[in-house]
Amino acid sequence: MLDIKFVRANPELVKENIKKKFQDEKLTLVDEVIELDEKLRAAVTRAGELRGLRNSLSREIGGYMSKGMKAEAEETKQKVTQMADELKELEELEGTLGVEIKNRMMVIPNIIDPTVPIGKDDSENVEVERFGEMKVPNFEVPYHVDIMERLKGIDLDSARKTSGNGFYYLKGDVARLHSGILSYARDFMIDRGFEYYIPPFMIRGDVVAGVMSFAEMDNMMYKIEGEDLYLIGTSEHSMIGKFIDTLMPENELPQALTSYSPCFRKEVGAHGIEERGVYRIHQFEKQEMIVVCKPEESPMWFEKLWQNTVDFFKSLDVPVRTLECCSGDLADLKVKSIDVEAWSPRQQKFFEVGSCSNLGDAQARRLGIRVRSEDNEKYFAHTLNNTVVAPPRMLIAFLENNLNEDGTVNIPAPLRPYVGNKAVIG
């Protein structure tokens, strides 16, 4: 959510940003916000004048009463009563206008970074860099479910019976590999100075509204029936929510955190074969990175975060590339975003395995996450998040890139301590 003062001072810039995101239907919101804001400020000013006058007249009433001037006192009391009625109306108007302004401000997109490429959708995202050697073996790489089934490591049929499509049972070496990758990711991030957390897996509605846009909420979140609780779609939701309504001393920044959680997503819509199996599912687990920092430090942290994911995948012999998200592919709260995509030898192309985002002060402004500087100035923090790893989707890339012709799978050295020191499974 933008600062109303910024919108008031820069309406054309805000409109130009909306156009860059190809959301022209939101252009009228800017003028509506400015008009409503003018009415709100006028109401606040008038209410302030009335309160001052009411206090003055109250003192006059006391003076009249002390002098026995009852008629004058009664006449002045009538004026105070009339003011009270007008003041009540103004206070109700302030509340109504405040809600109307907030509802519009919540859907006006954040100002994107000047370096973000302009494009309508993800087809216009821009490749930045590739890491590792994109190998294609001289044997046919099976579909990822087939690889897992040959390893006796997945049962989709039973999951359909218990839970429906979009769920899975992992077992044996594949289940151990899944857990081992998460444990390795946890220690990988701890070694890089991030504090480890396991957060709540459900959050209240006010936290959901603070960390994501309404469109994302409708498409992603599962709500607990009869309660003000939602299942998290990523641990970022809980971890940023942890700081709601806080005023942190500046010397406590940055907060560099890494968190594990299961994640639950609706994943609305039909998908092709490559997005079945364990690619697009309703339940998965993830290791995440979250940073809360000073505004001037967020670009530096953005670079650090996506580099952590690249380094993690390189350590597991999985080639990746980074892809800069264009303006039309950015969620409304995001200032800048880079996707990390892993190489699929089977498809001979890349697919997304993580996303790194700088949200500026958008989440902090919605959730009231403020910082007190050494000279006692208060400002909103910047928040960032990035995926370290999210199996079982990541298992697709791992299995394909470490698969041998005989169906066995090589285990890179850093991961072996987490899977019983095995060099090969299968």
Task: Report the 10 Å Cβ neighbour count for 87.
Answer: 19
Q: Where are the alpha helices (DSSP H) in 106-221?
A: 144-150, 156-162, 172-191, 205-211, 214-220
What whole-number distance in Å separates Cα of residue 176 and Cα of residue 23? 45
By C-alpha distance, which of 122, 202, 142 is closest to 409?
142
CA angle 364, 254, 284 (to 5 degrees): 70
Judge whether residue 49 has pLDDT over 90.
no
**Percentage of the chain surpassing pLDDT 70?**
96
Region 131-142: what's the mean pLDDT?
94
Give the contacts of 145 (CB within 8 A, at least 6 positions apart). 154, 156, 276, 277, 278
Task: Report the 10 Å Cβ neighbour count for 227.
Answer: 10
- Taking only the tens place, the pLDDT of each residue in 112-128 is 999 999 999 999 999 99
pLDDT at position 270 is: 47
- Taking only the tens place, the pLDDT of each residue in 244-289 is 999 999 999 999 999 999 999 987 554 555 556 888 889 999 999 9
Give the type of residue at 58. Answer: S
Give the contacts of 127 (CB within 8 A, at least 6 positions apart). 321, 322, 323, 324
Paired sense of beta strands 320-324 and 283-293, if any: unpaired
Region 332-354: what's the mean pLDDT?
96
pLDDT at position 215 is: 72
**Percentage of the chain surpassing pLDDT 90?**
81
pTM over 0.75: yes
Give the contacts of 193 (CB within 8 A, at least 6 positions apart). 256
- Taking only the tens place, the pLDDT of each residue in 142-174 is 999 999 999 999 999 999 999 988 899 999 999
Judge whether residue 407 has pLDDT over 90.
yes
Looking at every residue in the chain, the average pLDDT score rounds to 92
By C-alpha distance, which of 282, 281, 338, 316 is closest to 117?
338
Q: Are 74 and 57 in contact (CB under 8 A)?
A: no
Residue with tokens 């910024």: 6
SS3 content of the chain, % helix, strand, coil (to 5): 50, 20, 30
- Taking only the tens place, the pLDDT of each residue in 68-87 is 777 776 777 777 777 788 88
Domains of the chain: 4-105 (1.10.287.40), 122-425 (3.30.930.10)
What's the full length of the chain, in residues?
A: 426
| Long-range own/partner contacts, residues 5-9 (CB < 8 A, 24 or more apart) | 7/33, 7/34, 7/37, 7/105, 7/108, 8/34, 8/37
Region 1-21: what's the mean pLDDT?
96
